[in-house]
Amino acid sequence: MTGAAERSLQVAVVLLYLVQLTAGLTCFCQRCINQTCEAKPDGGCWSSVMLINGKQERDSVCLTAYHLTGEINCRGVGRFSKRKCCFTDYCNREPMYITDIPLPEGGWTRLQLVLVTVVPCLLLLFAILIIVFMARGHPWPCRARMQDPEEALDEQTLMSPDKCLKDLIYDMTTSGSGSGLPLLVQRTIARTIVLQESIGKGRFGEVWRGKWRGEDVAVKIFSSRDERSWFREADIYQTIMLRHENILGFIAADNKDNGSWTQLWLVSEYHEHGSLYDYLNRHTITVEGMILLAQSVASGLAHLHMEIIGTQGKPGIAHRDLKSKNVLVKKNGTAVIADLGLAVKHNSTTNTIDIPSNHRVGTKRYMAPEILDETINTRSFESFKQADIYSLGLVFWEVARRCSIRGIHEDFQLPYYDLVPSDPTVEDMRKVVCDMKLRPNVPNQWQSCEALRVMGKLMRECWYANPPARLTALRVKKTVSQVSMATKDVKD
Ligand code: ADP
Ligand code: MG
């Protein structure tokens, strides 16, 4: 080969390598319809096997860089589970097995005899040592096992039947693994849930109340047709640092093949009051109740929108479908933002959002004017946050109407109930919101109560036609907190 030809060959090899590096990986994917998935360049392929009820259940998917950090999903070989990560095309195709050594039938071997006699003696000695140790007043070297959070999490969760949801969520937030449990743990939880009753229907599939170890959980079931939505929502919920008291607590995602079709599950904390829409339909609220609800929705949205910088940082996220049906009410009267299926993440380094957004999504009634008339600048992430704020203003209006003062309140209504039909088209909404520039009515009597007066002012500042003029979620949150403190002071 000539020198020039050799050089061209070398360049071609380097180029091929670079293309491989930047193009990402193709992995075998048991959860995907066409059995393959594309991992991002910094991601990898994953495969696992787990013993469930004596059966070897296998799984293989693509992992994101976040799932690879800390190797939480990659390491581990045990009697009940095995998992690995790898980084070449289809490297996870070969099935893994758990090889359990069967006990020989008949008499005991010498090794077994030694084990049977020596092990109990050692255990006894160990127990005596512990008792002596404690009797001498030594503090117990607590949480020594925490040095390996991965092992502690996985094995304990799989094996110990006394774990409750609170423990799991505690593990999730302290393990340093971001916002989600290891995939195998998620699967184990999902497979031991017993469904009880259907509690809601939305855009995708159905939401059920289920029982896990005696506790209620919510299970959102997607059909295999909506696989992308399931994957997307699970991905958003597992964004690092997303967990917040005013964002629905995610527990697990699982895909269950029942022979003829795949059921896709998303498990979350259950809230018996249901959506804010249901709650306001059924109840009126006090001034304190209104402030609590408004404050928690604003806090949840401020957290969602906020970018946290750093390796354990969180990207800014816009919800894109904020409405009273996508907010849930907790037992203590606060609220959580749910249904993150349409949310988008902001990449501040490249100033892009993570999925293409060239079509109108969300609920027409709650769409901001710039979405209705398609003047929104989809290249700017700020635009999506500003559109969320418009919807927040409408939710505040729904809440404030139900605030009862000396028995006086309005009935529950959806925004624009008096101006558009029950299932409005984009055109119906555009005429009212963009052309006629109408907004929900703020009743005069709200001026006589300080908290309602501030709420009225806040919602007006959320639904300005000019998006940059709207308040930020953080500003709304702070103003509601001030009203909350002022009402407390008056009471004290
Ligand atoms: P979709 O994406 O189909 O709109 P949602 O997540 O919005 O699904 O859920 C639909 C409805 O199910 C909600 O409006 C609410 O009434 C009920 N729901 C959802 N999650 C829960 C939960 N965790 N606890 C109680 N009810 C819930
Ligand atoms: Mg919904």
Nearest alpha carbon, ligand 1 atom 4: 202
Q: Which amino acid appears at position 7 of this protein? A: R
Render 472-492 in DSSP notation, one character per residue.
Answer: PHHHHHHHHHHHHHHHHHHH-
Instruction: Determine the pLDDT at residue 108.
Output: 59
Q: What percent of the chain has pLDDT over 70?
A: 79
- Going by pLDDT thresholds of 50, 70 and 90, the confidence category of residue 76 is low
DSSP 8-state secondary structure symbol assigned to residue 379: T
Fold of the domain spanning 23-86: CD59 (2.10.60)
- Going by pLDDT thresholds of 50, 70 and 90, the confidence category of residue 148 is very low
Radius of gyration of the chain (CA): 27
**Ligand 1 pocket: which of 204, 207, 340 to mutate (most atoms within 8 A of CB):** 207
Return d(Cα 43, Cα 29) in angstroms, integer: 14
Instruction: Determine the pLDDT at residue 94.
Output: 87
Return d(Cα 215, Cα 189) in angstroms, integer: 12
Instruction: Determine the pLDDT at residue 452.
Output: 97
Structure-block tokens of residue 16: 């091929």
Structure-block tokens of residue 236: 């958003």
| Residue 321 annotated in active site | yes
- Phi, psi dihedral angles at 144 (to 5 degrees): -60, -35
Query: Active-site residue among 59, 321, 339, 388?
Result: 321
- Going by pLDDT thresholds of 50, 70 and 90, the confidence category of residue 212 is very high
Alpha-carbon separation of residue 364 from 99, 434, 436 (angstroms): 55, 13, 17
What is the pLDDT of the chain when averaged over all its residues?
A: 84
**pLDDT tens digit sequence for 313-364:** 899 999 999 999 999 999 999 999 999 999 999 988 888 888 766 566 899 9
Return d(Cα 475, Cα 461) in angstroms, integer: 11
**pLDDT tens digit sequence for 455-486:** 999 999 999 999 999 999 999 999 999 988 88
Return d(Cα 360, Cα 165) in angstroms, integer: 37
Instruction: Determine the pLDDT at residue 77.
Output: 63
Q: Cα(326) to centroid of ligand 2, in Å? A: 5
Give SS3 for 349: coil
- Which whole number is the average pLDDT over 80-85? 80
Instruction: Determine the pLDDT at residue 410.
Output: 93
- Which whole number is the average pLDDT over 156-178? 66
Instruction: Determine the pLDDT at residue 34.
Output: 79
H-state helical runs in 24-109: 65-68
Structure-block tokens of residue 1: 């080969």
Residue 139 reports pLDDT greater than 50: no
Architecture of domain 276-491: Orthogonal Bundle (1.10)
- Pocket residues for ligand 1 (CB within 6 Å)? 199-200, 202-204, 207, 218, 220, 248, 268-271, 274-275, 278, 325-326, 328, 338-339, 341
Q: Which amino acid appears at position 227 of this protein? A: E
Structure-block tokens of residue 448: 């006589």
SS3 content of the chain, % helix, strand, coil (to 5): 40, 20, 40
Cβ-contact 284, 409 below 8 angstroms: yes
- Which whole number is the average pLDDT over 434-440? 98
Structure-block tokens of residue 101: 């050594």
Other CB atoms within 10 Å distance of the CB of residue 455: 26
Structure-block tokens of residue 120: 């109990």
Cβ-contact 316, 474 below 8 angstroms: no
Instruction: Determine the pLDDT at residue 178.
Output: 60
Nearest alpha carbon, ligand 1 atom 10: 202
DSSP 8-state secondary structure symbol assigned to residue 225: G
Q: Cα(438) to centroid of ligand 2, in Å? A: 26
Return d(Cα 301, Cα 224) in angstroms, integer: 30
Nearest alpha carbon, ligand 1 atom 14: 325
Instruction: Determine the pLDDT at residue 65.
Output: 75
**Which residues neighbour ligand 2 (ion) by CB within 5 Å?**
202, 326, 339
Q: Quote the Cα angle for 253-257-261, to 5°.
A: 115
Domain segments of the chain: what residues?
23-86, 150-269, 276-491
- Which whole number is the average pLDDT over 162-169? 77
Superfamily of domain 150-269: Phosphorylase Kinase; domain 1 (3.30.200.20)
Residue 52 reports pLDDT greater than 80: no
Please, is 343 exposed, middle or buried when counting C-beta atoms within 10 Å of its C-beta (0-12, 13-18, 19+)?
A: buried
- Going by pLDDT thresholds of 50, 70 and 90, the confidence category of residue 261 is confident
Give SS3 for 356: coil
Instruction: Determine the pLDDT at residue 385.
Output: 98
H or E stretch covering 187: helix 183-191
446 or 59: which leads in pLDDT: 446
Instruction: Determine the pLDDT at residue 434.
Output: 98
Residue 272 reports pLDDT greater than 70: yes
Domains 150-269 and 276-491 share a fold: no
